[in-house]
Structure 1
Amino acid sequence: MKDLQEILAIARQVAWGAADILKSYYHGTAKDPNLNVQYQQNEPVTVADVAVSQYILEELQAALGNEDFGYISEETYKSRRDTQPDNPPWVWIIDPLDGTRDFIDKTGDYAVHIALVQETRPVLAVVAVPEAEKLYYATKGGGTFVETHNGSIPLQLSSNKQVKDLIVVVSRSHRNERLNHLLKNLPCQNQKAVGSVGCKIAAILEQQADVYISLSNKTAPKDWDIAAPELILTEAGGKFTHFDGTFLQYNTGDISQWGGLLASNSQYHEVLCKEAEKVLAELSN
């Protein structure tokens, strides 16, 4: 197998290519710009999702092959499950278009997620934000960088706010009563609406926000929503855990990330996790 830096270079190149394809659909310059929106389990899927998924899988497999890696992509997960061994030790977890609703609604908050997971934890991640023309990337123990067309610079989070001044980045569409109740009862009440988990975590990396909370209801975020954003946040000094402080696990056979998840710039992370558990415990009494 190639070394991690070689693999990262390939993943970055593929992510930039994927971003260009998405922008062509987003701005109506694709050969056929009709998005042909379909709904699966109440979630929209467009021809852009499918085209970019196919592009990423073909490019990664052409460069790296199938022998060393499994592949889990949002658009092909169901159809590919039977064609690869269960839980291979190295697996690519891919979201070709995170934030499809925002893509359709033209908010600009959409991203490409590509993560490489070893066993159950991410070791390499790329998150491209096409409309910002930025690509965030990280390797385990190697730090986080942001790449533009002018080159790359390292990112390191820092914050000296008081807890009440923290900004919580929230979803425009994925909301439920328990989450709304939790958000209303946290010590930080400043909120910023951003689509796509990748764009939410980018907002924390860019220090435009400090905290992101996910609370599953009938559905939960999937591995491909979280794996790449988690690593780019934690390698920049942030934290991304369950409310009880345990790490997230990927490639476990269950692609859903159930329960409460909290991502932050690490300041007050444990305080907010404990507060979230307390609020939810009171709600269920």
Structure 2
Amino acid sequence: MTELKYLGENQFEGLEEVAAIARSVAWGAADILRSYYRGEPHTGDLNIENKKEGPVTAADIAVNHYILDNLQAAFGTQDFGYLSEETYKFQSKGVLSSPLPEAWIWIVDPLDGTRDFIDKTGEYAVQIALVYQGSPVLAAVAWPETEKVYYATKGGGTFVETRDGLITQVQVSDRNKLEDLSIIVSRTHRDDRFNNLLQQLPCKNLKYVGSVGCKIATIIEQEADIYISLSGKSAPKDWDMAAPELILTEAGGKFTYLDGSALKYNRGDVHQWGCLVASNGHCHDDLLAQTKQILEKVDG
């Protein structure tokens, strides 16, 4: 069993060893998704089911089993809790009335961007995060169609690994004028309130990408600078944000609520309500202030 200890002041013993296991699991999950994506015979039909929270496929379920089986084999269930998109709905009928009791929680999205997976945009991801007392300390985000895994540890930076095993540290862009920054948005899921916000922000360059993990990867690849999540009738969940948050912040970016406070996970309600803002960090406070001002007018 892999040992992992909190030493105080955001210092952890054994975190790099745990990250290596998570990275390996992310690669295996990516391979499973790629086989389903290509319709390889041994994987079978996608069996798409349209649920209230969005579509679910056989690929989601297969990868969920693979990730949880491997993580639980490595870390057990005594000290580690597990929160997964595909399993939470069976706990208290989909509404966790209280946080999971463990200090260490694995938060897993086996297939982020299921709609993009079905529509064959290539913009889907595997997201695995380990949080300690509500804050992410380790993350792996696999973008299967680019054959890359982005991973980060708290205080250790963000790296990208390619299929040939080459590992490179990555950093966000140094663009520091708000009007020069690019906003990364979804092709769908944009209501009138969000579109009004986009129209009034000074940054007018838009880039369209699917999965949240792919969006944040695009920011740390310096191809975009800003991502904003604005909940309406629904909101993103813990597993949408936990792993992307850490790979962004460890690459030099910022990811906060609109009031500038840090995101928190495993609070009982898995929804991340409100306005969440991710950026390359250089104009983050100005971006928060302008976004707040615009939303107050829009909502007024």
TM-score bracket, shorter-length normalisation = over 0.9
Which of residues 104, 109, 115 in structure 1 aligns to 2:123? 109
Partner of 2:299: 284
Amino acid aligned to 2:264: Q
Moved more, 71-80 or 247-256: 71-80
Cα distance change of structure 1 residues 52 and 238 upon mapping to structure 2, 3 Å threshold: same
Partner of 1:121: 135
C-alpha displacement of 1:37: 0.6
Amino acid aligned to 1:78: K
Amino acid aligned to 1:264: S
Q: C-alpha distance in 2, partners of 1:100/1:34? A: 15
- TM-score normalized by the length of structure 2: 0.92
Partner of 1:12: 23
Partner of 2:57: 46
Runs of 4+ in 1 over 6 A off after TM superposition: 82-85
Q: C-alpha distance in 1, partners of 2:44/2:226? A: 35
Partner of 1:179: 194
Q: C-alpha distance in 1, partners of 2:296/2:81? A: 39
Cα distance change of structure 1 residues 42 and 119 upon mapping to structure 2, 3 Å threshold: closer
Q: C-alpha distance in 2, partners of 1:160/1:121? A: 27
C-alpha displacement of 1:81: 5.6
2:173 aligned with 1:158: yes
1:177-200 superposed Cα distances (whole Å, 9 cap, x missing partner): 111111111000110110000000
2:91 aligned with 1:63: no
Q: C-alpha distance in 1, partners of 2:200/2:191? A: 15
SS at match of 1:75: helix
Partner of 2:223: 208
Q: C-alpha distance in 2, partners of 1:241/1:30? A: 43
Q: C-alpha distance in 2, partners of 1:277/1:41? A: 30
2:263 aligned with 1:252: no
How many residues align structurally?
A: 285
SS at match of 1:19: helix
Q: C-alpha distance in 1, partners of 2:80/2:89? A: 17
C-alpha RMSD of matched pairs (Å) = 1.6
Partner of 2:108: 94
Contact 2:173 2:225 in 1 (8 A): no
Q: C-alpha distance in 2, partners of 1:118/1:165? A: 36
Partner of 2:148: 134
1:186-217 superposed Cα distances (whole Å, 9 cap, x missing partner): 00011011000000000001111110000000
Amino acid aligned to 2:270: I
SS at match of 1:146: strand
Q: C-alpha distance in 2, partners of 1:221/1:80? A: 18
1:142-192 superposed Cα distances (whole Å, 9 cap, x missing partner): 110001123211112232353212110001122111111111110001101
Matches within 5 A, 1:184-263: 184-263=199-278
Contact 2:258 2:288 in 1 (8 A): yes
Contact 2:99 2:268 in 1 (8 A): no
Contact 2:171 2:252 in 1 (8 A): yes
Structure 1: which 5+ residue stretches go unaligned? none
Contact 2:175 2:181 in 1 (8 A): no
Structure 2: which 5+ residue stretches go unaligned? 5-13
Overall identity of the aligned pairs, in %: 60
